[in-house]
Structure formats: C-alpha cells, structure tokens
Amino acid sequence: MTIQKHNTLGDKQLFDFDKSCCKAPIKDLEKYQSTDDKMLRTSIFFRDQLKEVIDEAVENDKKLLYQIQLVKDDKQILRKQYDQLIKKSLEDHDSLIQTLSARDADVHAKNEEIVQYKQQIEHLRASLEQQKYSYGRWNCFFLFTM
C-alpha cells in the first residue's frame, strides 16, 4: 500500500506502509495484520506510532521540568549562600572598621601622650637651663667671695 505524505518543505513523498511495518516489532505486526482493511491497518499503525511519540514527548517534558526544578532549587540555594556571604562580609567589614577606629583612637591618645612628654621634656630642659644659669651665678659669687 502506498500513501502520499507531505514533508515540511511541501514536497510530496511516497510512503510505503508495508516497508514501514517491516521496521516495527513482530508482535506489533501481528496486531496490524489481523485487520483486513489496509486503510484501517495503516491508521492503527500511525495512531500507535503517534501515541509512542507523544508518550516519549511527555516523558521528556517531565524530565525537563524536573531538571528545571533542580536548577531553580540550586539557584535558591546559591542565592541563600550569596546572601549569607554578603551578610558575613558586611559584618566583617563593620568589625574591621570598629577595630581600626579603636586603633586610631589609641594612636591619637599615644600621640597626645607623646606631645605631653615633649612639653614636659622642654619644660624640664628650660628648668635645667635656668638652674644651671643660677648655679653658675652662685658659683661665681662664691668664688669671688672666698
């Protein structure tokens, strides 16, 4: 039996049912050969082939939906991990700023102490210079009076 079939380009092709049936498993051929009408046999064959294609497409869709769900779950997990990393990074940043601020305050306090020590040293130098000058005057006075 020969049937005309159109492909996607619109060209007519001849489809030989008997040759196509030879590709089917033997148990399927028995089912088709039990029908006397060749047209009915052809429609049953194509219906079964279409059912197989649809079942395969449904299975593929289920697999794809499962894969999409896995990707969505992975995306949510990665988003949570990213948010946690950002939160930890901000906490570390705040902690570092506090530590640096405390160190800056310590350095500022030490600088103030150094300035005070320098002032005390300058004051002591001035005091020593003054005492040296006054002891020198007294020494001269004692030298002359003796």
Q: How confident is the model at residue 5 (pLDDT cuts 50, 70, 90)?
A: very low
pLDDT tens digits along 19-66: 554 455 545 555 656 656 677 777 888 888 999 999 999 999 999 999
Q: Which residues of 83-99 are buried (b: 16+ CB within 10 A; e: fewer)?
A: eeeeeeeeeeeeeeeee
Token digits of residue 128: 């020593």
Are the C-beta atoms of residues 54 and 63 closer than 8 Å to each other? Answer: no
Given a cut of 90, whether residue 74 has pLDDT beyond it is: yes
pLDDT computed for residue 63 by the predictor: 96
Task: Provide the mean pLDDT of the chain.
Answer: 78
User: Taking the complete model, does pTM exceed 0.75, yes or no?
Assistant: no
pLDDT computed for residue 12 by the predictor: 43
